[in-house]
Amino acid sequence: MKIKIVCLANSLKEGGKCLAGIELNENNTPKIENNRPKWIRPICKTEHGQIPALLIAEIGLLDIMEIDITKKPEITNYQSENYYFSENSIKKIGRFDFELLSLCHENKSTIFGNRGKALPKDVVEKLTYSLILIKVKKYCVEEKVYEDNPANPKTRLLFTYNNVENNFPVTDPIFLYNYKHNPNLLNGCTELYLTISLTVEWKGWYYKLVSGIIWK
């Protein structure tokens, strides 16, 4: 089935990429399902569903793409957005209007049901989604050095959402590249949208990531 998606994440994932976005209707506005924008995460039959980077190298945030989704995996759990797709079907067909992001973001009391950096299994088992777009006004970027790899600091985003301070890793490769070459990238930014996603389980926890950053 051919559908249209606005790309809101094309992020790093287990040696490949995680592609995700919101399905669009014939007017290029978000489809709504269960009172939420309808998210789609195309996946391959790989260990973690990651897509080979070369396959989606030309797709950027806010690109509108056409894709032929085929079926849902037998088990999706909290990653209800997952769909297999025809791997040669992805085609960029336009650009999404930045101003229409106001129809895509959500305002929830917490991000994925708690206020921490990660969720335990019992909380994840109650979730029916793993992607959300939020809008924030207070934020800063941090380079954090870890003892096990001091030569390779990790970029994290600190931001306030509904009066809660958050500190998540950034996996948006375009933002990481641009920030490395221009640390003042977000100076003067008036609107910042974040795609927040959940990792697969790691040592009993599911971590929150900033997988897409869109600003103006």
pLDDT digits (tens, 9 = 90+) for 57-81: 899 999 999 999 999 998 888 999 9
Residue ranges of the chain whose pLDDT lies below 50: none
Name 216's bridge partners.
none
| Polymer length in residues for the chain | 216
pLDDT digits (tens, 9 = 90+) for 163-175: 999 999 999 999 9
Asked whether the beta carbons of 22 and 37 are under 8 A apart, the reply is yes
Helical segments of the chain, H only: 121-124, 173-181
Q: Which tokens hold the place of 98?
A: 């930045």
Contact yes or no for 136/160 (Cβ under 8 A): yes
Q: What Rg value do the Cα atoms of the chain yield, rounded? A: 17
